[in-house]
Structure 1
């Protein structure tokens, strides 16, 4: 698989994405760009010295012009979230950083697919969509793909079943107003509630799932990791690399990524995560999932929370 991927930002997340990509067969060229050129050079040197154990790959610390002809551009730049700080408190500072980056990178790579990872990711995806001038199909945010991975991890541990058998998702904001549409949570075609009943019939010693506790596990995992080790970067990097693999695949896949809403579920002019069809041509559209009225209201509540913040930020 031959593709060129540029990563903007050589912090913990950006450099871990570069390292993870270097050990997989997703990219043949990786460009790492950071305002701190020496930091980017150090990360690249550390990564490339381990690539003798794989097929040849090009990894450089570059400038914006080196992003030319990129298939994918990943934007991770921004100030990291501090312990006790919400993603939304980062907003204006990281928006300002994005505004300085956008014209430079879009000029160099106008045809790339853009994957926004910087937090707060839904607002950053919205801002990039508004200021980049690019077609919307070229833009997606990592959204709740990590939240959904955390949910699958939690459900796997609860039911003692392989994560690959679990199809359950987190919708809405990547943050405090996210929610789990349990009406669409399945374990190999069986609803979560039905699966619990099945396990009991099979004599398994299993407790009913505490759905509110599971949501708290999903929402609070990032903060817990930050409080214990200072930052989160392994799982988010794995999630981003998975998205990259979808974007260079020969067929399309469905994922919970953050994209602009155009009336779906009665929501417009905001970026958040629902089931979305993505592939080599970028975002192809939303996949409507049947939800209860209460779940749709939760999605609207998440949208309203994001719109409230968007109304307060300076896009000019």
Structure 2
């Protein structure tokens, strides 16, 4: 039986992701929930996608209702990045909280008991509040997080060092806005990436490292929905088919001294949801940087909670 996936959120992101799904043609029954503020143009675009899906061999797409949530395996919440300055993004997140809470409440009130997958700016905050609002187990919520940046970094290392697609293992953790490349645990074949700096024959330098860090943290990469959709597709397939993978996704963590939060670390994503296989081991300097990210993220959550912003009470 096909997995049943309900897609909801902002029109432009829904259309983008559905286009990727049609091209990939997975064995999935897609059900898109109409957007409340949908215009005639967006309705026409959705109708075109439903029609295009008829050409798929496995993927099906229908326009659904809230009642479909009760039997869904996964709900994908896809939200676009508003055209505002980066420094205004937190205000944006706080502003959408009432709408987001209403959406999550509607999902739960309609009998949904599956997994929630979020693709959105600041999804680490949205995953955390979705956990609070929904009451679902922490294993059933995740966001794309830094997974798209991890995929990008691995691709860049592969091309730079001219190795095979499966020869690179690299990690980007933290959040898309405050990321940390774990160079101490990044490998090419049997050797750490940093070992390649010592071999002049590889033509790999500290400047290359700096360039990779800049490219992986660029705003253009965070705004690249094509890469985001490819990452989202891989995660969805891990959740609905027997295709488990270890990915750096936003996941709920409750053991930190500063309090519960969601942050990107490598976890196993599978039919069972999200599961941590082992603790993330970092170098001393990386550990310091990661703890700083955790503290700042938790401070942001506390400010939202204590400020009673966005209906988070």
Q: TM-score range by the shorter chain?
A: 0.7 to 0.9
Matching of residue 300 in structure 1 with residue 291 in structure 2 = yes
Query: Judging changes above 3 Å, is the alpha-carbon distance between structure 1 residues 168 and 10 closer, same or farther for their aligned structure 2 residues?
Result: same
**Correspondence for 1:217 among 206, 210, 215:** 215
Cα distance per residue 1:73-112 (max 9 Å; x no partner): 0112366253545643422023222111011112225221
Quote the offset at 1:27 in angstroms: 4.0
Cα distance per residue 1:161-184 (max 9 Å; x no partner): 344321101111221x21111100
Structure 1 partner of 2:227: 235
1: CA distance between counterparts of 2:65 and 2:230?
A: 25
**Counterpart contact for 2:196–2:204, Cα < 8 Å:** no
**Correspondence for 1:281 among 259, 262, 272:** 272
Query: What's the secondary structure of 2:136's corresponding residue?
Result: coil
Query: Judging changes above 3 Å, is the alpha-carbon distance between structure 1 residues 188 and 88 closer, same or farther for their aligned structure 2 residues?
Result: farther
Matching of residue 91 in structure 1 with residue 87 in structure 2 = no
| 1:153-192 superposed matches below 5 A | 153-175=155-177, 177-192=178-193
Structure 1 partner of 2:239: 247
Structure 2 partner of 1:311: 302
Query: Judging changes above 3 Å, is the alpha-carbon distance between structure 1 residues 139 and 225 closer, same or farther for their aligned structure 2 residues?
Result: closer
Structure 2 partner of 1:61: 63
Quote the offset at 1:251 in angstroms: 5.5
**Counterpart contact for 2:261–2:298, Cα < 8 Å:** yes
Query: What's the secondary structure of 1:111's corresponding residue?
Result: coil
- The count of aligned residue pairs is 305
2: CA distance between counterparts of 1:144 and 1:17?
A: 18
Structure 2 partner of 1:13: 13
Cα distance per residue 1:282-314 (max 9 Å; x no partner): 012253232112111111111111112112223
Quote the offset at 1:190 in angstroms: 1.5
Query: Judging changes above 3 Å, is the alpha-carbon distance between structure 1 residues 148 and 299 closer, same or farther for their aligned structure 2 residues?
Result: same
Quote the offset at 1:17 in angstroms: 1.3
2: CA distance between counterparts of 1:22 and 1:109?
A: 27
Quote the offset at 1:67 in angstroms: 2.8
| 1:77-88 superposed matches below 5 A | 77=79, 80-82=82-84, 84-85=86-87, 87-88=89-90
Structure 2 partner of 1:3: 3
Structure 2 partner of 1:100: 102
Query: What's the secondary structure of 2:7's corresponding residue?
Result: strand
Query: What's the secondary structure of 2:2's corresponding residue?
Result: coil
2: CA distance between counterparts of 1:150 and 1:86?
A: 26
2: CA distance between counterparts of 1:16 and 1:78?
A: 10
Where does structure 1 lack aligned partners over 5 or more consecutive residues?
A: none
Quote the offset at 1:271 in angstroms: 0.7
**Counterpart contact for 1:8–1:14, Cα < 8 Å:** yes
1: CA distance between counterparts of 2:194 and 2:276?
A: 30
2: CA distance between counterparts of 1:212 and 1:304?
A: 25
Quote the offset at 1:195 in angstroms: 3.4
**Counterpart contact for 1:48–1:59, Cα < 8 Å:** yes
**Counterpart contact for 1:173–1:303, Cα < 8 Å:** no
Quote the offset at 1:71 in angstroms: 1.0
2: CA distance between counterparts of 1:156 and 1:238?
A: 18
